Structure 1
Amino acid sequence: MMIMYMSIIFINLFIIGNLIFILKHKHLLIVLLSLEFIVLSIFFFMMIFLSMIEYDLYMLMVFLVFSVCEGVLGLSILVSMIRTHGNDYFSSYNLL
């Protein structure tokens, strides 16, 4: 019963993160924060699922390492965009 409630919480967190990612795409910082929220919800789901099947939680450490690398890469893109353009609006960033 408790696992069902946790899975419902995970689904709600994942849907909220995706809605923020889709609807708030004007600033790069908000997009990066929503991606980190999605990563945390997936981490929460993996922790529940691996605990439920009594599997080793070593894969969570690998997942966290990759999510930290993703976060650092996003922050470096944000810093370089702010240094070159002065803000983090996608509309002022020309991809051509």
Structure 2
Amino acid sequence: MYINMFFSLMFIIGLMSISLNRNHLFLILLCLEFIVLILFISMIFYLNFFENEMFFSMFFLIFSVCEGVLGISNLILLIRVHGNDFFCVLNIL
């Protein structure tokens, strides 16, 4: 019971940190990886509680690594083109 509340609180803190730190792409990527880590740990506890297979957690790790690599490649591209990782330098219009 308390562990579910703890993971829910950590997930909400991760979402709040994304909404408060939306100036730098690197900080957003760190917050996303924090959220993925919290989801992975809660999924491991859930699967252990019901004594299910851990095979799904391997797929989750694969997709989270792909998400991290995609975010880092976007960060590198943004830094090479604009010189920094601020979102204010992007001209959306």
Q: Match for 1:43: what amino acid? A: F
Separation in structure 1 between the aligned mates of residue 14 and residue 91 of structure 2, nearest angstrom: 26
Q: Quick one: which amino acid aligns to residue 44 of structure 1?
A: I
Which residue of 33, 37, 61 maps to 1:36? Answer: 33
Q: TM-score, normalised by structure 1?
A: 0.93
Task: Provide structure 1 residue ranges, at least 5 long, that are not aligned to the other structure.
Answer: none
**Alpha-carbon deviation of 1:27?**
0.2
For 1:95 and 1:25, locate their aligned partners in 2 and report how far apart those are by CA, in whole Å: 16
Q: Percent identity of the aligned residues?
A: 48
2:59 aligned residue (56, 62, 75): 62
Residue of structure 1 in register with 2:69 after alignment:
72
SS of aligned partner of 2:73: helix
Structure 2-normalised TM-score? Answer: 0.96
CA RMSD of superposed structures (Å): 0.8
Between the aligned partners of 1:94 and 1:73, the Cα distance in structure 2 is 21
What corresponds to 2:22 in structure 1? Answer: 25
Q: How many residues align?
A: 93
